[in-house]
């Protein structure tokens, strides 16, 4: 649940219009609508493939895609030429940045920001959006499911609040590119977490899932033979 929100999905979605406006798009709202349609499509795909591909595979693949997308989005904001500052206090800072790396016209690489966000949203919608909620209903034993589910939900929405609250201050402090690279780092950590700590629950009964945590064996990362035989 924590990594779901540390993907910065709310920071991206809630600020999508302002992000594209900063990137030089004159009609940022239309691009935001496209992002919403992509998110809806990706969630539909997740419903079709989650019981075929497995939870771990989707989470691992999405972590890679979302990490690379955030890195690419940060690269875009690092190399595009920003608009001229609106006040004199910002002149020195923007000229300094331009002299280092801001050297490409925004309209020439606008496709990079759009494609990065689309791939990011697809990765989230297929895996990191729905699967944490699905796995909450699978991995907890019956005796603890109510309390554990409530704690998980609290962690999710509290971290969502923190990420949303701190997005703009982070942008002001370390720029758009720094913010996206930071959250890209969190997605790399999510890959490591899933690889070492998250069991594959595809095709397993609740009793089999509970047994995985008790056994501690490598079998926890494999789907049940009973399911594969079907």
What one-character-per-residue DSSP string does the chain give? -HHHHHTTHHHHHHTHHHHHHHTT-S-HHHHHHHHHHHHHHHHHHHHHHHHHH-HHHHHHHHHHHHHHHHHHHHHHHHHB-PPPPSSGGGHHHHHHHHHHT--B-GGGSHHHHHHHHHHHHHHIIIIITTHHHHHHHHHS-GGGHHHHHHHHHHHHHHHHHHHHHHHHHHHHHHHHHHHHHHHHHHHHHHHHHHHHHPPP-TT--HHHHHHHHHH-SGGGGS--HHHHH-
The number of folded domains in the chain is 1
pLDDT in tens, 138-165: 888 888 888 999 999 999 999 999 998 9
Domain of 138? 2-198
The more confident residue out of 136 and 16 is: 136
With respect to residue 206, please indicate whether it lies within any of the assigned structural domains. no
With respect to residue 218, please indicate whether it lies within any of the assigned structural domains. no
With respect to residue 229, please indicate whether it lies within any of the assigned structural domains. no
Mean pLDDT over the full length of the chain: 80
The model scores a pTM over 0.85 = no
């Amino acid at each position: 649940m924590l990594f779901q929100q540390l993907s910065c999905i709310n920071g991206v979605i809630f600020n999508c219009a302002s992000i594209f406006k900063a990137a030089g798009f004159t009609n940022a709202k239309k691009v935001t609508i496209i992002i919403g349609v992509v998110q809806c499509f990706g969630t539909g795909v997740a419903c079709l493939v989650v019981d075929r591909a497995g939870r771990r595979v989707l989470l691992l693949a999405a972590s890679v895609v979302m990490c690379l997308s955030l890195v690419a989005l940060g690269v875009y904001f690092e190399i595009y030429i920003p608009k001229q500052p609106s006040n004199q206090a910002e002149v020195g800072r923007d000229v300094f940045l331009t002299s280092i790396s801001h050297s490409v016209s925004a309209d020439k690489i606008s496709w990079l920001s759009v494609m990065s966000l689309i791939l990011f949203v697809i990765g989230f919608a297929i895996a990191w959006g729905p699967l944490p909620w699905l796995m909450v209903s699978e991995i907890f034993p019956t005796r603890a499911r109510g309390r554990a589910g409530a704690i998980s939900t609290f962690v999710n929405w509290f971290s969502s609040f923190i990420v949303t609250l701190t997005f703009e201050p982070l942008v002001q402090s370390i720029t758009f590119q720094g913010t996206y690279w930071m959250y890209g780092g969190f997605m790399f950590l999510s890959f490591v977490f899933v690889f070492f700590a998250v069991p594959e629950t595809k095709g397993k009964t609740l009793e089999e899932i509970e047994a995985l945590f008790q056994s501690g064996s490598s079998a926890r990362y494999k789907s049940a033979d009973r399911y594969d035989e079907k």
